[in-house]
Amino acid sequence: MNQFQYSRPTKQQAAIDAVAKDPNAAFIAGGTNLVDLMKRGVTSPQKLVDINRLPLGKIESQNNGLRIGALALNSAVAEDRQVREKQPLLALALNAGASPQLRNMATVGGNMLQRTRCAYFYDTTMPCNKRQPGTGCGALEGVNRMHAIFGFSDKCIAVHPSDMSVALVALDAVVQVSGPKGNRSIPFADFHRLPGDTPEKDTNLTPGELITAVDVPDGPFTKHVHYQKVRERASYAFALLSVAAALDIDGSNIIKAARLAMGGVAHKPWRLTTAEQMLVGKPATEETFRQAADVAMQGAKSFKYNAYKLKLGPNAIVQALKTAAAA
Partner 1 sequence: MNTEPENASPHDDSRRTFLKQSTLLTAMALVPGPVVSAAEAKLDERVAEAIEQVPLSLKVNGKKLKLSVEPRTTLLDLLREQLHLNGTKKGCDYGQCGACTVHVDGQRVNSCLSFAVMHDGKEITTIEGLADGDKLHPMQEAFVKHDGFQCGYCTPGQIMSAVACVREGHAGSEGEIREYMSGNICRCGAYSNIVAAIQDVKKGGQKV
Give the interface with partner 1 as residue ranges (CB under 8 A). Answer: 1-11, 14, 18, 28, 30-32, 35-36, 38-40, 47-48, 50, 52-53, 75, 98-102, 104-105, 234-236
Nearer to ligand SF4, 69 or 138 (CB): 138
Nearer to ligand FAD, 29 or 255 (CB): 29
Partner interacting with residue 243 (select from ligand SF4, partner 1, ligand FAD, none; CB below 5-8 Å by kind):
none
Q: What are phi and psi of 274, to 5 degrees?
A: -65, -40
Residue 321 touches ligand SF4, criterion: CB under 6 A: no
In the bound complex, what is the minimum distance in angstroms from residue 113's beta carbon to partner 1? 16
Partner interacting with residue 117 (select from partner 1, ligand FAD, ligand SF4, none; CB below 5-8 Å by kind):
ligand SF4
Q: Give the integer Cα–Cα distance in Å for 237 and 199.
A: 24
With CA atoms as reference, report the closest residue to 32 among 132, 193, 161. 161
Nearer to partner 1, 47 or 145 (CB): 47
In the bound complex, what is the minimum distance in angstroms from residue 256's beta carbon to ligand FAD? 30
Residue 159 touches ligand SF4, criterion: CB under 6 A: no
In the bound complex, what is the minimum distance in angstroms from residue 212's beta carbon to ligand FAD? 7
Residues forming a β-bridge with 59: 68
In the bound complex, what is the minimum distance in angstroms from residue 162's beta carbon to ligand SF4? 15
Residue 263 touches ligand SF4, criterion: CB under 6 A: no
Residues in contact with ligand FAD by the rule CB under 6 A: 26-34, 36, 51, 70, 97-98, 102, 105-107, 109-111, 113-114, 161-164, 210-211, 238
Residue 138 touches ligand SF4, criterion: CB under 6 A: yes
Cα–chain center distance at 259: 16
Among 93, 98, 139, 321, binds ligand SF4 (CB under 6 A): 139
Residue 158 touches ligand SF4, criterion: CB under 6 A: yes
Determine the interface stretch with ligand SF4 among 69-77, 102-110, 129-137, 291-299 (rule: CB under 6 A).
129-137
Partner interacting with residue 326 (select from ligand FAD, ligand SF4, partner 1, none; CB below 5-8 Å by kind):
none
Residues that bind ligand SF4 (CB under 6 A): 117-118, 120-121, 128-130, 137-139, 156-158, 199
